[in-house]
């Protein structure tokens, strides 16, 4: 793990997990991890995509979605108990009887959900791994809203995993004022080895934002392999903290004054002459 300063002085933490089939077990792992946080507050904790359940099928995830409120109450209580802000990776929120949203909720330290982003870009691709193909849209409904929210850590832009490949979304996020962009993820081992860090660094540099990517890692109970390499990147493209393998926290401090200086010295957003719109 790379940390450039004392974690006790950091205000952003990202948790790398290897989530399994049982939501209660994954919540228990989260509770254990939160008990290790330093005393400093305010604190933002970021979880990976599908932190709550890494199912064998969309059918199984749909069953969790139908009982999601009990888990949301537990997440809310943990935020109050530990006095933290928390981006809950993604959890399945019901859309209708056959589909759910991959919803990324942001909770404040009072346990209130202050923002929700529903994953826009769905992972319908062929990959040269044991799964062969992924069809996220079979059970997941795509979102349509760009979400940026005020917080004690700066203006947070919310994205999820495959969104990372679509720079237009990140441009829209920074135009809405984002200073820190969260990218909870579960990249495949195959795609992660080639594209993960390059994409994250590019998004940080072009938006001049901090990028925080909490990731899934390892071989999961459903047979999938995820890449890990959770990472926090500065607006200048420097790696501030990373965890190639295993589970646990990485952390860094989001220095908004440094961000403002970078943007003053190289005002790329004011130089931007192209405009894009969500289809």
Catalytically annotated residues: 49, 119, 161
- CA diameter of the chain: 51
DSSP for residue 255 = -
Chain-centroid distance, C-alpha 197:
14
CA neighbor of 183 nearest in space, from 165, 206, 208: 165
CA-based angle 116:117:120, to the nearest 5?
160
Handedness of CA 64, 68, 73, 77 (dihedral sign): positive
The whole-angstrom separation of Cα 162 and Cα 168 is 13
Between strands 100-107 and 85-87, the pairing is antiparallel
256: closest CA among 25, 44, 18? 44
Please state, in angstroms and rounded to a whole number, the distance separating the CA atoms of residues 105 and 200: 21
Helices (H), 159-255: 167-175, 189-207
The CA distance from 258 to 216, in Å, is: 30
3-class DSSP state of 101? strand
- Calpha distance 93→233 (Å, rounded): 29
N-terminal to C-terminal alpha carbon distance within the chain: 39
Cis ω for the linkage preceding 90 (within 30 of 0): no
């Amino acid at each position: 793990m790379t940390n450039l300063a004392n974690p006790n002085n950091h205000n952003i933490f990202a948790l790398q997990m290897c989530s399994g089939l049982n939501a209660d077990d994954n919540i228990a792992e989260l509770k254990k991890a939160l008990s290790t946080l330093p005393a400093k507050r305010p604190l933002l904790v970021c979880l990976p995509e599908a932190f709550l359940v890494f199912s064998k099928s969309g059918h199984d995830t749909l069953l969790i979605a139908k009982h999601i409120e009990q888990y949301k109450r537990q997440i809310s209580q943990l935020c109050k108990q530990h006095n933290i802000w928390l981006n809950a990776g993604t959890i399945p929120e019901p859309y209708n009887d056959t589909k759910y949203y991959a919803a990324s909720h942001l909770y404040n330290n009072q346990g209130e959900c202050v923002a929700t982003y529903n994953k826009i870009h769905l992972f319908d691709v062929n990959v040269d791994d044991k799964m062969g193909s992924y069809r996220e849209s079979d059970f997941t409904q795509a979102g349509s809203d760009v979400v940026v929210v005020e917080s004690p850590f700066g203006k947070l832009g919310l994205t999820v995993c495959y969104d990372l490949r679509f720079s237009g979304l990140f441009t829209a996020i920074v135009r809405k004022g984002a200073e820190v962009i969260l990218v909870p993820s579960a990249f495949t081992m195959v795609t992660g080895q080639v594209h993960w860090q390059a994409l994250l660094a590019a998004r940080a540099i072009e938006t001049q934002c901090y990028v925080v990517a909490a990731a899934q890692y390892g071989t999961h109970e459903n047979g999938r392999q995820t890449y890990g390499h959770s990472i926090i990147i500065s607006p200048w493209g420097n790696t501030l903290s990373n965890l190639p393998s295993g589970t646990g926290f990485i952390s860094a401090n989001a220095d908004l004054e440094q961000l403002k200086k970078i943007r003053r010295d190289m005002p790329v957003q004011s130089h931007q002459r192209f405009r894009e719109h969500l289809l």
